[in-house]
Structure 1
Amino acid sequence: MPKAYIFSGFGGPEVESFADLPRPVPGPGQLLVAVRAAGVNPVDWKRRTGYRPLGAPAPELPAVFGGEIAGVVEQLGADVEGFAVGDAVFGNPVGGGYAEYTLLPVALAAHKPEALSWADAATLPIAAATAYDGVVQLDLPPGATLLVTGAGGGVGVAAVQIAIARGLKVVGTASAAKEAFVTSLGAVHVASGPGVADRIRAAAPQGIDAVYDLVGGPALEEAAELLTDRTKLISGGDRETVAKLGGFPVARERTSAVLEAVAGLVTDGVLDPFVTQTFPLDRAGDALRAVEAGHARGKIVIELPTTP
C-alpha cells in the first residue's frame, strides 16, 4: 500500500511514524494525485502538538502531515472539469501531503506550468500564496516602507520579493546569520531579538508604513509600536496577539487564481521560492526537524521522484 508520514497523537516527534495507507479514492470535485513534491511548513509540526487555527476542527488521528503538494493527476472524481488524468498540478490537499498519493480539491488546485519545477511548485500553495495574499491585503502604494518580521523563512522570503516587485521598500527582521541572505533579496536587514524596534527605527528613519508579521509574540508587539495606523498591521500566524494590537490576520484567498498568480511570478523570474534543502519521503522526519528547529533558510521540500 502507499506510504505516508503520519502523527498518531498530539505531542513531540515521538508520535510520528510511517504508515501504509489505502490509496485514496477521489470524491466529487477532487483529484487523486501521485505526489512528486511536498512543501514542509511550521504549521505541520504545530498541528502535531495539537495547535489548530481558530475555528479549524481537530484532525482525525492518525493524520498525514503536509498542506501543499505538486504531482500528477491519477484519477478524477465526479463533477471535475478543467483537469485530466496525467495533468501536472499543485495545490492544497485534503488528508495531508507527505504521502505517495493524496486528494486535491479542484477549488484549491492549479495546473503546474512546464517551466516550474516540482519542488518549486510544492512551495507555492502555503508559503508563497500566504505571502501574496498578505501583500495584496496591505495594498501599499509604490514607495511605501513595509516591515517583514521573519524575513528569512519560507513566507518571509516570498513576501519580501513580492513586495519589492510591487515597488515597496522592505525592511526585514531575521537572525544575524541570515543577514546576507535577506540583503540579497533586496531588503534592509535588521537583526531580530529584544530591542528590535529601536534597530528598525535606525534602519528606517523615514518610518514604517505597514507590518507583515510572520513571528508573532513579543516580536509582533515590538513591531506594532512602529505603526500609527494599526489597520496596516497583519500577522500570518499570531491571530490572538495581532487582534489585541488592533491589527488583522492575513486574509487568505485560497483560490486557484492566487495559485496561478504566484506560479506566474516564479516563471516570470519575479519570485524565487529558494528551495534550500530537499529530502526523500523516507527522511520526512528529518525534513520536519529542520523546520521545527526554526533555523531553516527559505523552503524545505520532500521529493518523490517516482511513484509506485
Structure 2
Amino acid sequence: MTLPKTMRAMVTMGHGDLDQIVQHDEWPRPDPAPGEVLVKVGACGLNNTDVNTRLGWYSKSVTGATNTSAGAPAEEDPSWGGAPIGFPRIQGADACGEIVAVGTGVSDARIGERVITDNWLRDPTDPLNKEKTGYFGSERDGGFAEYTTMPSQNALTITSDLSDAELATFSCSYSTAEGMLTRANVIAKDTVLVPGASGGVGGAVVQLAKRRGARVIALASEAKHADVAALGADRVLPRAPDDLHAALADERITVVADVVGGPYWATLIDVLARGGRYTCSGAIAGPMVELDLRTFYLRDLTLLGSTVIDPIVMPNLIGYIEAGEIRPALAATYPLTELRAAQTAFVAKKHTGNIVVVP
C-alpha cells in the first residue's frame, strides 16, 4: 500500500476558544516509531477531555463548569495530569480505524487489523504505576486526523459488525464508566444513582451497571428520559429534583456514579445509604463542592476518584462489545473538517450519547 506523505488534520494550536482548532490539509503524516502502529482513522469520538484541555479547564485557577476557559492557564497545571502539554497538538482520544503500517518490532501480521484505542499510555515496564501515564490525544497526537500512530499495545483488535462511527463511541466514555464501576466494585445487589445519565459517560454507566445486574436510577432532563430509559435504566428522574429523597422514595442508593459535580453534589452524597460508595470521574457542572464531613464519616461512606483505569478494563470492554452485551449510543456524526461545530454541539449538551467525527 502506498501511503500519502501528508494528511488532513484538525490541529489545536494552543489553549483557548474554538479558533485554536485549525484545519491543515497537508499536515505531515506520522510514521510509526519502533513498537508503534500507523492507523488510518475511520472515525474519532469527542469527549470532555478534549474541551477541558483546550480551554485549560484543568488549571486550579478555574472553578466553573467544563465550558469555562482559563484564559491564560497557569503553566504548571493546565492539563489532566498537572503538567503542561505540547502544542501544536492533534487531539481526539476515541479513534477507530485500520492498521496500515507498523514500526520495527511489530509483526506485519497486524496490518489490516481493525482497532480501537486503549487511551492510557502506560510505562510498559511498570503498567500499574498510575503516575507514569499519559493520554492519547493529550500527551501525544490523537485521532482528529486522517492517520495517527500509537504504541502497538494501545491498538486493540476488535471484531464487530458496528460501523467505525459506532465503535468510536466506546474508548473514552465506556472505559471511564467501567473504570468507575470497577473501582466502586459494583455488583448485582447494588442500586446505582447516575447523574448526567444522558451524556456519553453517564449513558455508558447505565448500560454497564445493568450488565453487572445492578438496579439503576438515572437523572436526566425530561426531554431525554425516553432515550435514557432505552439504555436500560430502571427508573429515570428529573435532572436535579428539588427533593431527591422524596423522588427516590424507598430506593436504597448504595453507589453514586458521578461526572457532574457542581452545586447539586451535596444532595447526591446525602442520599447514599450507610456504607455507600461515591465514585467520580468528572465535574461537568463545576469542581467546587461542599461536603458535610458528618455525612461522610457517620455513614461510613467511601469516596473514590477514578481517572487512570485498571489495565483489564479495556480488554473486558472489547469482550462486552463483541458479545453484544453493550451497544453504542451514537448521537450525531460530523465530518472531521466540522470539528468546531461538533464541539459546539457537544458543549451544548442537547444530545444523548456520543458525538463522532469522520475523516
Q: TM-score, normalised by structure 1?
A: 0.89
Amino acid at match of 1:25: D
| Offset, 1:25 | 1.8
Structure 1 residues 34 and 190, CA gap change in structure 2 (3 angstroms):
same
Deviations 1:153-184 (A, max 9, x none): 11111110111121111111111211111122
Pairs aligned (count): 301
Verify: 1:271 aligned to 2:326, yes or no.
yes
CA RMSD of aligned residues (A): 2.4
In the TM superposition, what are the counterparts of 1:25-64 in structure 2 within 5 Å? 25-52=31-58, 53-64=79-90
- Asked which structure has the greater CA Rg, the reply is 2
| Residue of structure 2 in register with 1:84 after alignment | 110
Whether the 8 Å contact between 2:11 and 2:23 is mirrored in structure 1 is yes
Amino acid at match of 1:128: Y
| Offset, 1:29 | 2.3
| Residue of structure 1 in register with 2:240 after alignment | 193
In the TM superposition, what are the counterparts of 1:256-295 in structure 2 within 5 Å? 257-295=312-350
| Residue of structure 1 in register with 2:266 after alignment | 221
Aligned mate of 1:128, from 174, 177, 185: 174
Moved over 4 A (4+): 228-231, 239-246
Whether the 8 Å contact between 1:242 and 1:248 is mirrored in structure 2 is no
Report the Cα distance in structure 1 between the residues aligned to 2:213 and 2:15, rounded to whole angstroms: 43
Structure 1 residues 105 and 223, CA gap change in structure 2 (3 angstroms):
same
Q: Which has the higher helix share?
A: 1
Deviations 1:248-297 (A, max 9, x none): 21253264x43332233223232112112111112111111111112221
Verify: 1:109 aligned to 2:155, yes or no.
yes
* Residue segments in structure 1 that go unaligned for 5+ positions in a row: none
Report the Cα distance in structure 2 between the residues aligned to 1:83 and 1:221, rounded to whole angstroms: 53
104-113 vs 245-254, which deviates more? 245-254
Whether the 8 Å contact between 1:237 and 1:249 is mirrored in structure 2 is no
Secondary structure at 1:31 match in 2: strand
* Residue segments in structure 2 that go unaligned for 5+ positions in a row: 1-5, 59-78, 120-135, 297-301
Q: TM-score, normalised by structure 2?
A: 0.77
Report the Cα distance in structure 1 between the residues aligned to 2:307 and 2:87, rounded to whole angstroms: 28
Amino acid at match of 1:175: S
Whether the 8 Å contact between 1:71 and 1:89 is mirrored in structure 2 is yes
| Residue of structure 1 in register with 2:197 after alignment | 151
Verify: 1:23 aligned to 2:29, yes or no.
yes
